[in-house]
Amino acid sequence: MRTYQIASIPGDGIGKEVLPEAIKVLEALAATCGFQLQFSSYAYSCAYYKTYGKMMADDGLERLRDSDAIFLGAVGFPGVPDHVSLWGLLIPIRRTFQQYVNLRPVRLLKGIASPLKAEKPIDFYIVRENNEGEYSSIGGRLYEGTEQEVVVQESVFTRKGVDRVMRFAFELAARRGKKIASATKSNGIIHTMPFWDERFKAIGQEYPEVSREQFHIDILCAHFVLHPDWFDVVVASNLFGDILSDLGPAVVGGMGIAAGANLNPEKEFPSMFEPVHGSAPDIAGKNVANPIACFWTAAMMLEHLGETEAAALLMNAIETTTAAGKVLTRDLGGNATTTAVTAEVIKNIGKN
């Protein structure tokens, strides 16, 4: 029987609620489709940091290395600065395991009302460069606390890093609607963004069947709101992709249905799958968090593992649930609990 080793990191806040519910769904799918998932749980989190002064054990990355995938709930905790959790856990995982593609689906699910007057289907992917770009630790401060204080932050764009994420995005576009858009700001950022544009054009020539456009990031954000149906695949640098991948879910119902994946496409290292919504400490422990983002993230993990039948069953079960509109959490207009949504999705597995 096909067996997969999954490292689960519930994390903080609602991560500790939605991840166990997603595991219930995954186990139901495994039983239906004839494979096994073996979960190893790790307490790496901001709560771990409060106790030990670090986000994970010293050998934490080595413990994760032999997994087939990493399934993360959320990280974030009052009193622990966001840069501590990001640079202490998420970025080391993404960079050590060469998870250079951050993939975010943006799709209007059946039964979910967009906050926009969306008359056409919305269904696209944001492909974010995940290892370099604007998120660099290169830089520093001089003359701190004085009127002469200087702060420098370097962006790092390499041909290898840009080309590989571009190629992934073009491959995805070639399998889908055969069109791609690039986020840029080459009219104001004089070195990195013209280079990004040059590589977009160069890689695009390898895919003549894919039509390509590029937009400055400011007008692209406007188009996400005014014309979300225009897009199929959007490729962006680390910072721009981060911004767009929160804006995208906002136009299709909110962060409660925002899935995400940090991919090592070659599968030389484990990929990490995490919903986008964060730890939401204000609603943690109340059994009201929307687990759909985590379920959709689980479907992306199954797809990456090659369990396409299970991934399709899960997405169908999610949309059967949202289309019926009877068992939804309050962010989607209902009053159902987290656990009630889980039970409904499991019940709908295999339904047309």
Rounded mean pLDDT for each run of 10 residues along the chain, 352 residues in total: 96 96 97 96 95 95 97 93 92 96 95 81 96 92 96 96 98 97 96 97 98 97 95 97 94 91 97 94 95 98 97 97 95 95 95 70
Phi first, then psi: what are they for 57, rounded to 5°? -65, 160
pLDDT on residue 65: 97
In the chain, which residues fall in CATH 3.40.718.10? 1-111+253-352
Alpha helix stretches (DSSP H) within 4-90? 15-33, 46-52, 60-65, 82-85
Q: What tokens does 126 get?
A: 């944001």
pLDDT on residue 115: 80
Tell me how far apart the alpha carbons of residues 324 and 116 are, in angstroms, rounded to a whole number. 21
> DSSP labels for 206-245?
T-TTSEEEEEEHHHHHHHHHH-GGG-SEEEE-HHHHHHHH
Whether 232 and 179 have beta carbons less than 8 Å apart is answered as yes
Region of 39 please: left (phi>0), alpha (psi -120 to 50) or beta: beta
Rg of the chain over Cα atoms, rounded to whole angstroms, equals: 20
pLDDT on residue 117: 76
Residue with tokens 């080595």: 62
pLDDT on residue 352: 65
273 DSSP β-pair partners:
71, 261
Residue type for position 225: V
Q: How far is CA 333 from each of CA 85, 122, 282, rounded to the nearest angstrom?
A: 32, 20, 18
Helix (H) or strand (E) holding 127: strand 123-129
Structural domain 1-111+253-352, CATH architecture: 3-Layer(aba) Sandwich (3.40)
